[in-house]
Structure formats: C-alpha cells, structure tokens
Amino acid sequence: MIRRTLSVQRNLMTTLLKRLVRLTPIVATIAMVLAGSRPAQAGCFMELAACFGRASGATAYWQSVLMSADCELDFASCVRREIIGR
C-alpha cells in the first residue's frame, strides 16, 4: 500500500513538473508582452562594460569581485530605471 501511494505521488509530481516546464516559456512570453516591451537602453550595457573594465583593473582579487558585484547592481538599477521609469 505504501509503495503504491509513493508511486502515485511520484507520478503526480512528474506530471506537475512536466506541465510547469511546458508552461514556463509561455508564461514568460506573456509577461514580457504585457510588461510594455520597452527595451533597456544601450547606455546601461555601455556603463556595465566600462564598470567591468574598471573592476578588471583592480589589484586584489576580492576587490575585483566586489567591484564586479557592484557593477551588476548598478546595471540592474539602470535597467529597472529604463523599464519602469523610476
């Protein structure tokens, strides 16, 4: 009885996982269309490239890692400002 219950639960989980995997691209596409389709300006990417260039010139490894993380945060902020407008 326990094996049958576990088998049923396993089949249910695989079915749900398959549905989720199939629906994820569809939901993502719908969300992007409904979001307003305003692309981020190339300025955000240019700033990111320049920031990574400065980070690569750091003398210490951890300083470079932290500077790169700061570049990523600045990039996310720039994209958010371009898309949302705040």
Q: What does the pLDDT read at residue 6?
A: 52
Contact 30, 50 (CB under 8 A): no
Walk along the chain (86 residues) in steps of 10 and give the mean pLDDT of each run: 56 71 77 62 84 92 93 90 78
The domain segmentation of the chain, as residue ranges, is 1-37, 39-86
Structure confidence by residue, pLDDT tens digits, 35-53: 655 555 578 889 999 999 9
Residue 44 CB-density burial (10 A; 0-12 exposed, 13-18 middle, 19+ buried): buried
0.95 surpassed by pTM: no
Asked if residues 83 and 40 have their Cβ atoms less than 8 Å apart, the reply is yes
